[in-house]
Structure formats: C-alpha cells, structure tokens
Chains A and B, each alone.
Chain A
Amino acid sequence: MATSKEMGGTHAESHASHGSAGHLHGEPYQPVFVGERRRQLDELLTRYPTKMAALLPALWMVQEDRGWVSESAMAEVGEVLSLTPAYVKGVVTFYTMYHQHPVGKHFIQVCTTSPCNVCGAEDVVNAFLKHTKCGELGVTSDDGRFTVIEVECLGACGFATPVMINSDFIESVTPEKVPDLLSKLP
C-alpha cells in the first residue's frame, strides 16, 4: 500500500518545480477563451444567475484545451469571470481532477479504495507501474507518455478494478489485462 506521502508532505515542491507563469519557456500565454471557446462559455453563463457558477465548467474547458491549468490560465479565468486569481487558485487546488502541472500523455488513475482494494486493486497499480516503466506513483515516465496515480473510489465498485486513462473510464481491469491495454494507447 502506498504510504501517505501526500499527507505530511510539503507544498513547496509544487511551487519550485513548475515555475510561476506556467507556460512554455519564452512563449507568451495564449488565452483560452477566444473564438469558439468564448462562445461556449457565454452560452454556459446563461444557465446560471452568477458568473462565479461557471468557474468549474470554465476550468474544465481550460484543461480540455491545454491539458492542465496553469497559473496564467487561472488569472485568465479570473479575469473573464470577475474573480481574483487567488480565489480561482483556491478553487483549483480543492478539486483533485484539475492538474496544476503537466502530466503524462496518458494519465492513468487506478482506484484503490477498499471495495477495489479487496479485489486486488494494488496488483493492478503495480502492473501499471511496471509496464509503463514509471516505477513510482505520480512521476511521469521519461518518454512523457505515462503518469500513474492512485485515486479514491471511482463509483464502479462492482466492476473492480476501474481505471481512468485521461477521461476514458475502463471497467474491470486486472493485472493480466494491463499490457494489452497499454499497447493499444496512441
């Protein structure tokens, strides 16, 4: 069982290694909410009586567009929804599905909460760590293709062990199925 590293760890790490602006070296930040995305956001805004209510949907749009939510993107979302960047950041850091730094091309999330745990979920995790050559949870493989993490209950307990790869939801994964699953990924 993985240790509770995330409890008792330091958050200084995330500051240090990912830079402040959060975009590619030397390139200025390109806004997300232009053109079609802006139109989509405007449509979403009609569904709620406040701009703030569009925050989670807007952050999803950022992540779908860029693969993660950078600090520059947080500032942009804040600007668009009339929220301070600090406020947006407070929300982003609350929800585990928003990535605050880039992840592997295939972000593999394995449920290991008790219902899956008693069905061998940890063996599935180990199989992924082995076959992706990641070796360690949360660390992206050298070729940038894979990141493997454990997640909490995915709500498919009768289909143990469920695994999400990015937003693809795959049921009933066993260690034996892992190599084949991985080989089919682009």
Chain B
Amino acid sequence: MGYPHAPHARETVVLSKYFGDSEATTLDGWRKRGGYVALEKALGMTPAEIVGIVKDSGLRGRGGAGFPTGMKWSFMKPGDGKPHYLCCNADESEPGTFKDREIMRWTPHALIEGCAIGAYAIGAETAYIYIRGEFTEPLQRMEAAVREARAAGVIGPNAMGTGKRVDVWVHKGAGAYICGEETALMNSLEGRRGNPRIKPPFPAVAGVFGQPTTINNVETLAAVPHILNNGAEWYKKFARPDNPKSTGTKLWSVCGNVARPGNYEVVMGFPFKDFLYDLCGGPLPGRKFKAVIPGGSSVPIMNMEEAEAAVMDYEGMVAKGSMLGSAGCIVIDDAQCMVKQIARLARFYAHESCAQCTQCREGTAWTTKIMERIEAGEGSMDDLDTLLEIGDSMTGKTICVLSDSCAVPVVSGIQKWRHEFEAHINGKRCPFRAAAAA
C-alpha cells in the first residue's frame, strides 16, 4: 500500500496488504490472514511442480536483476547428493529502495513462508535470510517470527509435520552495500570479506560453502505464497496486454522531492506519469520535477520527458533509456543541483567498493574527486571528457557491476544536464548553492 499513507485506489495491494497492521507480524495474526496455507500445500507437492508454477507465473527477481525466478530455481539439480542452500537477500542497500524492510517488519511470516517454499522447491533444507546490520526492526521482527515458527513446528526439522526439514535462519550483515551482490552475500555469509566472486562457477553449481545455492530477493520470495495460493494465471494477469514478459505486482519505493513518499504497489505496466503525479502526489509546492531515477541509483537518470512517457515494467523502462531495477524511485526537483547529487552518488559507490577490481577501486574514488571538484567550482571542461572516459573504463570490465553503476549517473548527468555542469565550470561555483545563499 502507499505506506505510510493510506492505500491509493489505483494500487493493487498484494504484498503490502498488511503494511501498518501490527497484528500481521505474529504467527497467529498471519495465520488469520491466510498465512502458511501455501506452505502446507507446497510441502505436499513435488519440488518440480512448484518450480513449474513459479516459472509459469513469470515472476522475475525483484532485487534488481529481473531474472526469471522459476528458471533460476530450475538450475538447482535435484538428487545430486549435495546439501542445497537458499539465501534470501535482505541486504537492501540500493539508494532509493526501502521495500524489503517493510515486508520484513510488517509481514515477517510472509517472508518465512516464501523462504520455506523456495527452499523446498530447490531441494534445500536450510535457508539463510541475510539482513543488513542496520535493519534493527526487521532483524528483531524476523528473529521473533523465526522463533515462533520453529516453536510451532511450521519450520524446523519436521516442517508442518511432514517429516521434511526446512530450517530458516536469520544472519546479520555488518555494513556493506556490496553484500547485496549475490556472490558477495555468499562470501559474507561464509565469514569472509564481502567480495563478489568470479563466475563461473555459478551459485547453482558451487555457491555458499561450495554447495549448490540459489539467492532470491525478499520481495521475490514474498510473492511465492500468493502465486501458489492464487495460481500462475492470476499472477500473469497483472501485466500489459502487449507485454507478457513482466507480470505480477511490484512494490515501488518512492522517495526524494515528492509530496507523498512511501511504498506503492502497482501492477506491471502502470503508466509512470500517473504514478508520479497522481498516486505520489506530484512535486512539492512551488517546485517542478526535474529528474527521476526509477530503479535505484544504479539505473540511468531519466529526464521528465522520458519519465512521463514510460510504463512501469522491465521492458517499458528500458524502452525509455533506463531500467526497472529495484524500483527504488528517487525523485529530484528543480531546486536540486544535479552535479551535487551525482557527486554524492559517486561518493556512495566509492565508499562501498570492495577494492578487488582496479577500475572500481580507483575509478569510483577518482570520479568522486573530480565531481566534488566541479561542484566546488574548480572544474574544467576536459574534466567532463575525463569523467566519460573513466566511466567507459569502469563499464563491462569488472567482476561485478558496482563499477558500472558508479559510471551510470555520471554519464546520464553529462548527457542530459550538461548545462548544469558547464554552469559550475564556467561560473566557478555551484549555481544552486549560490542561489540558496543569496
């Protein structure tokens, strides 16, 4: 729902139905709301059946990559005699994104149910929910819910009395955005530095503890019980008629310079212009929208012409030059300085780089320094060329895409707001800072 606001009539409330409802956090409360019916059903099916339904539903990874979930699950070979693992990626650190925290703090049992079904479907007896260390409340809620579920025998060595073992454990992170990258998450879980791994080997072949592993986002797993309860066909209905590739509902985390920030749940293919001006309430009084980063800070920045023409599904966002990503929607108005914000984003990436790859380790810091120098009024025109060339060095050449992500806003910024950069360079100061001081 449009939490913390009341749900908007044009939302399609599935995952967010109980946001704000504190009773939904308990096992009994969850059961009253239809919880754990899907898990019971799932444990009576074969893993292959479950994978088939999820494949059919068109569910795609909600963490940012959008990889078809059913296909990912099918990479786990049954009967190989090795312990399989499910990792739930609750590291939510992509700037602009704050949906997984809501799922965990309002509907922790939804996630447990999704993890349990997912684990069973991929032949795993153990699921780890890797929650970033800063998420105090989600950690507390999830730990409490796991304890409740274990005590009630819903999960554990004899899940729902079926004799099947499904263990779900909460694992706390310690402050590293890069641990949201699936292979870095596995390394962190193993007690290592959160360095992404080179692939191959792929997680489904050799993942955590060297065993076949699947990593899924919180929102992805939370959708699974609904798909099992209502069927794949139901899920597929939430799509544009001319785009069956993006199905279901999506939680959009809206933040920045907008009247009603919060999480909104809409169907795939919702028109972005309506979303921004109607559901989210449009810009703040006296301001105009200038830019939107629809999918978390790692996707290209859209100008308003692009944003207002876009539809909110994977393909729709790509068609307008950006990506759906994590649907962390950062809205920037005309009072903000693009140079300053892009510099701040570069600094974020520089802070979070794991340090393995040369281009990322050095390039994120170098980009930040140049951007901050431009913001301070000490830039020159050749800095813009340098930034673009560094960005090219940083793209497509590293173990993971943090490096590429740092280059993305820089490239968008210079492409679409070059005039702001030039104003800093020519005027030898930030025009927005100067205006604010005046």
Contacts and interface: CB of A to CB of B under 8 A. Distances in A.
Contacts of B193: 90-91, 94
Interface stretch (A10-18, A129-137, A149-157, A174-182): A149-157
Contacts of B174: 56, 59-60, 95-98
Contacts of A115: 95-96, 255-256, 328, 330
Question: Which one of B4, B95, B340 has the greatest number of beta carbons of chain A within 10 Å?
Answer: B95
Given A114-B344, A159-B98, A97 B368 contact: no
A56 B170 CA distance: 12
A157 B261 contact: yes
B93 interface: yes
11 contacts: A49-B209, A50-B209, A83-B191, A95-B175, A96-B176, A113-B297, A115-B95, A118-B330, A152-B352, A153-B94, A160-B261
B194 to A, nearest CB: 6
B166 to A, nearest CB: 14
Contacts of A91: 191-193
B332 interface: yes
A46 B372 CA distance: 48
Nearest to B139: A167
Given A155-B132, A155-B135, 5 more contacts: A8-B369, A115-B255, A152-B93, A153-B95, A159-B261
Nearest to B371: A4
A155 B190 contact: no
Interface string B164-199: 000101011111110000000000111111100000
Contacts of B297: 113-114
Contacts of A55: 191
Interface in B299-354: 328, 330, 332-333, 336, 340-341, 343-345, 347-348, 350-352, 354
A72 interface: no
Chain B interface category by residue count: 35 or more
Contacts of B209: 48-50, 53
- B interface majority secondary structure: mixed
B198 to A, nearest CB: 18
A154 B138 CA distance: 13
B227 interface: no
B136 A152 contact: no
Interface in A32-49: 47-49
Contact of A152 (B172, B255, B341, B351): B351
A118 to B, nearest CB: 5
A81 to B, nearest CB: 8
Contact of A158 (B132, B171, B254, B333): B254
B256 A152 contact: no
A169 B368 CA distance: 28
Chain A interface category by residue count: 35 or more
A114 B330 contact: yes
A103 to B, nearest CB: 14
A164 B96 CA distance: 17
Nearest to B347: A4
Contacts of A185: none
A1 interface: yes
Contacts of B350: 4, 7
Contacts of B336: 118
Contacts of B352: 152
Given A56-B171, A155-B97, A119 B190 contact: no
A162 B172 CA distance: 20
A3 interface: yes
Contact of B93 (A59, A97, A155): A155
Contacts of A97: 133-134, 174-175
A48 B126 CA distance: 9
A117 B341 contact: yes
B175 A155 contact: no
Contacts of B191: 50, 52-56, 81, 83, 91
A118 B95 CA distance: 12
Given A7-B368, A91-B193, A169 B254 contact: no
